[in-house]
Structure 1
Amino acid sequence: MKLRYLLILTASLFIATGASAQTTVAATPPMGWNSYNCFGSAVHEDEVKANTDYMAKYLKPHGWEYIVVDFLWSYDNPPGSNIGNPFQKRLQDGSYIPWLTMDKWGRLTPQPNKFPSAFGGNGFKPLSDYVHAQGLKFGIHVMRGIPRQAVWAKSPIKGTNGITADMVADTNSKCPWMNHMYGLDMTKPGAQEYLNSLLELYASWGVDFIKVDDLSRPYSAAEVEGYKKAIDLCGRPIAFSLSPGETPVSQAAHATKYANMWRMADDFWDNWKEVLHMFDYAKSWEGVGGPGHWPDCDMIQIGKLSKRGPVGVERYSRFTEDELYTHMTFWSIYRSPLMLGGNLPENRDLELKLFTNDEVLAVNQKGENPRQLYKKNGAMVWYSHVQGSKDIYVALFNISDNAQNVSVDFASLGLKGKVTIRDLWKKQNIGRFSKSYQQNINLHGTALLRLSAQ
């Protein structure tokens, strides 16, 4: 336990001294949409554009800004197909099928059958331009390392004199759940140059955000540093996300220094037990988040999910309405990045209400120093401070399986005298109280409050 707090303190010192990742990128938790939870590897360009249009019209006025294309955009999924088997088969001559779309420098590029505007070597530039024209930002998911097919083909590394992909790959470093890539041996000449060439390409496409998979579990420190160096050299501000979790808490100082966000847990889905686990993960990272670097609870499982994979049948979120509010409330009070996972054009009034409450979103974007006040007897309370004010945000959670009262003692928050309480989901003041406040909350439900001492 003492070691964990020492690590957290070390990470906090990076924040305080400015030795962390640049705070001009992700100065507040990133807010956006990611294609994975609704389309898996099978998202197509028209669907990305439809989600872009929806965000620009309905969500951009409330601060949402990123559109992220996730998972295997260089892999061919015919229109209407499910996620399928992402593995490649190795042939007798050592080559691979299906062959991923790749340029002569061993860099993966968008599959034109899925992204028609990429045809002719355009890459993601036309789609990125479409997103930017709506006043939004564009992001992509990538796998750690270098394509195995580039290693087989001995693709030249751009920016080097005669170094090829097989000379920089670490063939013993493999993703356990997908066989497309080898890790990079960052001690080898040309390895950093390969990453530099990737980020040069992404910058030319207008990429604003990269989510690098198979990087955080196990934690690949040398490659994390390599990607960050390449980002710094590419000439474009790009947010850097590490995935998936569980990122080791022992790497808190390193992640804080080099990344803008990192996953605390493995993939999160719409199951109440996973919400309970996320509370514990968040507590273990308490105190680390700050401008430019955010522990990530993973994507928001609200809306139409798994239209073509990856987990379960097509559905609206399996969370009850109370659980939906708890989900959104905790991600907000904790200041996790907010990445929507559902297909936005299929949002109902409920989803739109959850995503457009500016008072709730302000808790995520403008709260400071979130902390757990207590967790006992099926009740949990978190709080944070309101920037530029003595007010305090307080989130009450009933994590038991029965309705019950959840209370907060004002003295434990340093508040004295009469306290005015505003319900942020209801957008209304609920009264003035002395010493404490309690509210009866449904099972798995929540209340999000703003407390103002008089």
Structure 2
Amino acid sequence: MAISRRSLITGFGAATAGVLLAPAPSALAAAPMGAAALAAAAALPVTSRNSIYTRKGTGPLYWNIYGWSFPNNAPIPEAEWQANIDWLAADFAPQGYTMACTDGWGACTRFTANGYRTTFDDEWQHDWSYWVNYLAARGMTLGVYHNPLWVHADVVADPSYTVVGRPDIKVADIVTPGDIFGVDVGFNDQYWVDVTKPGAKEYIQGYVDYFKSLGVTYLRIDFLSWYETGTDAGIGTVNAAHGSANYETALQWMHEAAGDGIELSLVMPHLFNDAQNEIKYGDMVRINADADHGGWDRLSGGRQSWQNAWPDWFNPFSGFTGWAHRSGRGQLILDGDFLMMNTFASDDERRTAISLMTIAGSPLAISDLHSTIGGNGWAYTNPEVLAVHNQGLVGKPVFYNGTPYSQDGASRDTERWAGQLPDGSWVVALFNRNDTDTVTRTVDFAGLLGISGSASVRDLWTRTDQGSGTSVSASLAPHACKLVKVVPSAATKRYHAAFAAWGGGAHFNNNHTGCAGMGFVDKLEAGSEGPTVTFAVQAPSAGTYTVGYRYANATGATSSMTVSVQREDRTQVSGPFQVSFPGLADWDTWSTVTGSVQLAAGVNLITIGRTGSDTGAINLNYIELNV
């Protein structure tokens, strides 16, 4: 039977109950170390998968079959798949939408000798390889929906199927009798892999390697919450629970096999314990319920509170806001699910949907069809909106305090967002989620972004300059938005920690006065997981640049942090080297330590963190460079 995951869980996410869970004098930084000191310096800790995909910042631009399969509750016919690929190649691939991806309706009973499916659906004539080549001829790639933890019942029943690299182990031997995916809701064609059995690792990693070898670039892995706990928040018990330890093992094996060769999209994860497993082993995570029928209700409506089970947030506005502390370069790509412009009631809603996905760094996933897109394709192809996405924009909502959004629904603002680009410019998004009233939204450049002086403003949707000023404000009709680019006039570029990527326990706060902008990053201290702050900085040419670190340190002694500079592909540019931060009077006193840093031409990821070789603690407000 086809795995019709969307139809199975429609509406359940909405039904589940929510559960709320003046600068001090400068000091001189330590200069980059010599070879001996470099060798002795501790490398910055890595507490995330940190793949080339997450280091880019944003999710992919692509098309998915959902817009056909969901309303039809059936696998997309191969002829329809081809017609949509040809349309995508002509109308959207030139703008960067260069991947086509399957989803969860295909039923395949044709397998390799190791039990791996060879095509999307039994009704399709062609296999994966054919479609990889068909797409490649059009400058595109294939994404596949499949969970490597699944073993088809036909494979289990046939002892001729053996584990890849282990001809002594039958595929049937890596499952437990009766351990069937979704057995309590009527599924009967897929078993779950038992990761405690010999051969399980080879099977799971072999599945990832199999897709990589075919040229698949993106693997969408679904129903992870069902594997971990055996439950669904809207349905109840669905199958046997496998536990968080086995879940982590499975994710780790997939991560090891994937490397930088395939992007791992984790779908329907519980995200327990602040996504501690998903951030270590995945590139992308779904942060809201399924797109379902699309439209404004799925974008902004439904349950607004948090629950400690999939989907913890119902709509993308809440999900992006609630998980903003886990997003950014090298951390997690937040996936707001599919977009269907034909399901929205107005152009204002279409602009809001694209603007929200863009400012949050989400994939832009088209699920309209060649037959349903109508005149709405413009929403996906605005060149200035795509330009900031392609520069790796991952913004954050305005934070009012450091309390998690799951515990305090007033701690973050879902309708005011900002993000900083590698060239030092900003993108600001203002939204009106109200259904009836026109409202005014404002972002003050100094007060929230820490911009010194004025800045020029350009509207990205109208593609017009709005002049210079010290704030941006908009009167917004219901469901409308404003998306602008803001370019500070100051020659020295200031990159704010509050809008950077926070790793390993680094944490937003604003509980001390005197800092510039919305706040600062704290928990750069011993006892955390290995806290880091990563900034994406564009350098016009390779060379040595002056850098200033704006910090507070009231530990009573000099503290140190380690700095490292890499390219997005992890090529080391400079460091690691230590920077010393002299003690100050109290945590409301801020100072700037200056030094130098070597950068490569183009985008550099500058990471500042607390290693085991460092001492003390600091709060970090921003770094400033003469790039």
Asked whether the two chains share a fold, i.e. TM above 0.5, the reply is yes
**Counterpart Cα distance in 2 of 1:346 and 1:33:** 14
Q: Aligned partners of 1:46, 1:16: CA distance in 2, in Å?
A: 50
Mapped contact 2:320–2:336 kept (Cα < 8 A) = no
Matches within 5 A, 1:294-313: 294-303=332-341
Deviation for aligned residue 1:164:
1.6
Please name the residue that 1:326 is paired with: 352
1:152 to 2:157 alignment: yes
Q: Aligned to 1:343, which of 357, 362, 369?
A: 369
2 CA distance for matches of 1:111 and 1:30?
21
Letter in 2 for 1:256: I
Query: Alpha-carbon deviation of 1:59?
Result: 1.8
Q: Provide, for residues 137-183 of structure 1, a one-character-per-residue CA deviation record: whole Å limited to 9, x for no partner.
A: 11111133212332233432232133122321144363365432222
Q: Distance in 2 between matches of 1:441 and 1:366?
A: 27
Change (3 A) 1:416 1:46: same
**C-alpha distance in structure 1 between counterparts of 2:414 and 2:163, whole Å:** 55
User: What CA distance in whole angstroms lies between the structure 1 residues aligned with 2:101 and 2:414?
Assistant: 35
CA distance in 2, matches of 1:301, 1:112: 24
Write the distance in 2 (CA, Å) between the matches of 1:367 and 1:416. Answer: 24
Counterpart for residue 450 of structure 1: 485
Structure 1 equivalent of residue 523 of structure 2: none
Q: Contact 1:249–1:284 (CA<8 Å) still a contact in 2? A: no
Q: 1:67 to 1:252 in 2, by over 3 A?
A: same
Residues 222, 251 of structure 1: CA spacing in aligned structure 2 closer, same or farther, 3 A cutoff?
A: farther
Q: Are the counterparts in 2 of residues 259 and 293 from structure 1 also a CA contact under 8 Å?
A: no
Separation in structure 1 between the aligned mates of residue 484 and residue 421 of structure 2, nearest angstrom: 11
The one-letter amino acid paired with 1:207 is V
The code of the aligned residue for 1:425 comes to W
The aligned residue for residue 97 of structure 1 is none
- TM (norm. structure 2) is 0.58
Are residue 21 (structure 1) and residue 49 (structure 2) matched? yes
| Cα gap change, 1:417 to 1:22, in 2 (>3 Å) | closer
Give the residue type in structure 2 aligned to 1:151: V
- 1:285 correspondence with 2:323: yes
The residue identity in structure 1 corresponding to 2:59 is P
Distance verdict in 2 for CA 1:23–1:336, change over 3 Å: same
| Residue 333 (structure 1) shift | 0.1
The correspondence for 1:172, drawn from 158, 179, 192, is 179
How far apart are 1:253 and its partner, in Å? 3.5
Q: CA RMSD in A?
A: 2.8
| Residue of structure 1 in register with 2:466 after alignment | 430
Instruction: Spell out, residue by residue over 1:83-107, the C-alpha distance to the aligned partner (whole angstroms, 9 max, x if none).
Output: xxxxxxxxxxxxxxxxx33344322
Q: Distance in 2 between matches of 1:62 and 1:225?
A: 34
Q: Is the 8 A contact 1:125 1:204 kept in 2?
A: no
Cα contact 2:143–2:216 (8 A) shared by 1: yes
The correspondence of residues 13-412 of structure 1 with structure 2, limited to 5 A, is: 17-18=45-46, 20-21=48-49, 23-25=51-53, 27=56, 28-40=58-70, 41-75=74-108, 100-110=109-119, 114-117=123-126, 123-143=127-147, 144-154=149-159, 155-170=161-176, 171-172=178-179, 174-175=181-182, 178-216=187-225, 219=228, 220-232=247-259, 237-245=261-269, 247-250=270-273, 252-269=275-292, 270-276=294-300, 277-291=315-329, 294-303=332-341, 316-344=342-370, 346-350=372-376, 352-373=377-398, 380-389=415-424, 391-401=425-435, 402-411=437-446, 412=448
Change (3 A) 1:59 1:249: farther
Separation in 1 of the partners of 2:414 and 2:175?
A: 50
Distance 1:285 1:217, change over 3 A: farther
Task: State the alpha-carbon separation in 2 of the partners of residues 243 and 204 from structure 1.
Answer: 23
Q: Is the 8 A contact 1:298 1:339 kept in 2?
A: no
Identity %: 23
Larger Rg: 2
Q: What SS does the aligned partner of 1:162 have? A: strand
Deviation at 1:259, TM superposition (A): 1.3
The number of aligned residues is: 393
CA distance in 2, matches of 1:111, 1:211: 13
The separation in 2 between residues aligned to 1:218 and 1:251, in whole angstroms, is 18
Structure 2 partner of 1:9: none
Q: Distance in 2 between matches of 1:140 and 1:440?
A: 42
> Structure 1 residues 197 and 374, CA, compared in 2 at 3 Å: closer, same or farther?
closer
Deviation at 1:211, TM superposition (A): 0.7
Question: Which structure's residues are more often strand, by fraction?
Answer: 2
Distance 2:170 2:367 in 1: 38
- Opposite residue 440 of structure 1, the aligned amino acid is S
> Is the helix fraction higher in 1 or 2?
1
Q: Aligned in 2, Cα 1:46/1:296: closer, same or farther, shift over 3 Å? A: farther
- Provide the rounded CA distance (Å) in 2 between the counterparts of 1:130 and 1:384: 37
Q: Counterpart of 1:324 in 2: which secondary structure?
A: helix
1: distance between equivalents of 2:272 and 2:287?
A: 8
Taking the aligned partners of 1:147 and 1:281, their CA distance within structure 2 comes to 33
1:163 aligned counterpart, secondary structure: strand
Counterpart position of 1:312: none
| Alpha-carbon distance change, 261 to 24 in structure 1, aligned in 2, over 3 angstroms | same
Displacement of 1:321 in angstroms is: 2.3
Deviation at 1:334, TM superposition (A): 0.2
Residue identity in the other structure for 2:398: L
Q: 1:218 to 1:266 in 2, by over 3 A?
A: farther
Which amino acid letter does the alignment assign opposite residue 360 of structure 2? Y
Counterpart AA for 1:320? S
SS at match of 2:212: helix
Which amino acid is 1:146 matched to? V
Cα distance in 2 for partners of 1:163, 1:252 equals 34
The aligned amino acid for 1:396 is L
Q: Distance in 1 between matches of 2:68 and 2:479?
A: 25
CA contact (8 A) 1:400 1:443 kept: yes
8 A contact 1:74–1:101 mirrored in 2: no
**Could you tell me how far apart the structure 2 residues matched to 1:372 and 1:284 are?**
9
Q: CA deviation at 1:254?
A: 2.5
Q: CA deviation at 1:289?
A: 2.3
CA distance in 1, matches of 2:328, 2:462: 28
What letter is aligned with 1:363? V
Separation in 2, partners of 1:263, 1:345 = 27
Q: Distance in 1 between matches of 2:224 and 2:78?
A: 26
CA deviation after TM superposition for structure 1 residue 54, in Å: 2.2
Which residue identity lines up with residue 23 of structure 1 in the other structure? S
Q: Which amino acid aligns with 1:226?
A: W
After TM superposition, the score normalised by the length of structure 1 is: 0.78
Deviates most, 323-332 or 199-208:
199-208
